[in-house]
């Protein structure tokens, strides 16, 4: 009996071709230091002391003109690549110019406000370089997962309008994101918090006033930007009450939002699928629909 067996190298080649066709027009650039002369409060000069942004550029013919700063999760102790790189490649497919933030971490000795300073600087930096990257400075969002979601939710509730008299043109820009995407996010530092994230952010004995300040469900105002929030029933790491509490605060303040609680999905699931994202978790499609409503994708 003659067997017709396809050589393995052909399957691998097909996979590489598919990836090439999907991402040939997306471009990841080199990381850019947020502060060329060193970040304020830096503890040293190693890579862990230098917050950066890595731009991911969509096909120029497909660009929507919107931008997204992406904060990977990792409990404020690490940075999960699939919640940075993969999100950027996915959004590039839909015309969004992305900037993955490498922010300072508690595991390297940093505490609040270093992380918030990095996220705020990232949004300002994108706005200051909007012409260079051909994006609209009025369409700059922030996205985060888990502890990165806490950082994103911190910026959407603790932003400022910039310093108009600053010598640094970046610091003249507003740090207010135009929208937020919060994926199975840590929101509260109270009853429903993720203790590891809280410890890395504030230390093990934080002042009660600081815990309240960074329990972001308590900091929503009518000026908080629109948000897309999602979590899952199966999440065993960050209770879905975090997402529900933030949604309720948005509702009370009449801030537009989309809220999705899915039955299935472990914590840290990201898109679930790997590039080229043929079968992502349903939140991705729901998020794209919402981004169209916000004018971020076509």
Query: What DSSP letter does each residue of the chain carry, written as one string?
Result: -------HHHHHHHHHHHHHHHHTT-EE---EESSTT--TT-S-SSGGG--EEEEEE--TTT--S-EEEEE--STTT---GGGTHHHHHHHHHTT-EEEEEE---GGGT--TTHHHHHHHHHHHHHHHTHHHHT--TT-EEEEEETHHHHHHHHHTTS-----TT-SSGGGGS----S-EEEES----SSTT--HHHHHHHH-SS--HHHHHHT-GGGS--TTSPPEEEEEETT-SSS-THHHHHHHHHHHHTT--EEEEEESS--TT-TTSSPTT-SS--HHHHHHHHHHHHTTS--
Q: How confident is the model over 25-52, as pLDDT tens digits?
A: 467 799 999 999 999 999 999 999 999 9
Residue 26's pLDDT is what? 63
Q: Which pLDDT does position 20 carry in this prediction?
A: 39
pLDDT at residue 121 in the model: 98
4, part of any domain: no
Q: Is residue 10 part of a domain?
A: no
Q: Using one digit for the tens of pLDDT, what is the confidence trace for 175-208?
A: 999 999 999 999 999 999 999 999 999 999 999 9
159-172 pLDDT, tens digit each: 999 999 999 999 99
Per mean pLDDT, which range of 18-27, 162-171, 264-273 is the poorest?
A: 18-27
Residue 2 lies in a domain: no
Give the pLDDT confidence score for residue 274 in this predicted structure: 83
Is the residue at 190 inside a domain?
yes
Mean pLDDT of 113-119: 98
Quick check: is 19 in a domain?
A: no
Instruction: Give the per-residue pLDDT at 133.
Output: 97
138 pLDDT more than 80: yes
In a domain, 275, yes or no: yes
pLDDT of the residue at 298: 93
With a cut of 50, say whether residue 106 has pLDDT above it. Answer: yes
For residue 45, give its domain range.
25-293
**Higher-confidence position of 152 and 5:** 152
What CATH number is associated with residue 69?
A: 3.40.50.1820
Q: Is residue 15 domain-resident?
A: no
Whether 90 maps to a domain, the answer reads yes
Which pLDDT tens digit goes with each residue over 209-233? 999 999 999 999 999 999 999 999 9
Average per-residue pLDDT for the chain: 92
Q: What is the pLDDT of residue 80?
A: 97
User: Residue 7 pLDDT more than 50?
Assistant: no
Instruction: Using the predicted structure, report yes or no on whether residue 69 has a pLDDT greater than 50.
Output: yes
Residue 127 confidence (pLDDT) above 70: yes
pLDDT at 275: 82
Number of domains in the chain: 1
């Amino acid at each position: 009996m003659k067997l017709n067996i396809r050589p393995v190298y052909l399957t691998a080649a097909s996979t590489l071709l598919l990836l090439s066709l999907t991402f040939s027009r997306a471009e990841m650039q080199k990381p850019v230091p947020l502060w060329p002369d060193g970040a304020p409060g830096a503890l040293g000069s190693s890579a862990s002391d230098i917050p950066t942004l890595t731009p991911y550029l969509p096909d120029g013919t497909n660009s929507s003109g919107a931008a997204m700063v992406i904060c990977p999760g990792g409990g404020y102790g690490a940075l999960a690549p699939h919640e940075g790189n993969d999100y950027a490649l996915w959004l590039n497919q839909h015309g969004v110019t992305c900037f993955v933030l490498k922010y300072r971490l508690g595991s390297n000795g940093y505490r609040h406000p270093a992380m918030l300073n990095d996220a705020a600087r990232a949004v300002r930096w994108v706005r200051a370089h909007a012409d260079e990257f051909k994006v609209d400075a009025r369409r700059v969002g922030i996205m985060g997962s888990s502890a990165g979601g806490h950082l994103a939710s911190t910026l959407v509730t603790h932003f400022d309008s910039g310093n108009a008299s600053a010598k640094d043109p970046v610091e003249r820009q507003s740090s207010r994101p135009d929208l937020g995407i919060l994926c199975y996010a840590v929101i509260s530092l109270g009853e429903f918090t993720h203790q590891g994230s809280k410890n890395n952010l504030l230390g093990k004995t934080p002042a009660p006033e600081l815990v309240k300040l960074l329990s972001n469900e308590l900091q929503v105002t009518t000026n908080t930007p629109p948000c897309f929030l999602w979590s899952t029933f199966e999440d065993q790491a960050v209770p879905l009450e975090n997402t529900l509490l933030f949604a309720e605060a948005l509702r009370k303040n009449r801030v537009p939002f989309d809220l999705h609680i899915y039955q299935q999905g472990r914590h840290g699931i990201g898109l679930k699928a790997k590039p080229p994202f043929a079968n992502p978790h349903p939140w991705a499609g729901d998020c794209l629909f919402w981004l169209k409503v916000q004018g971020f994708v076509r």
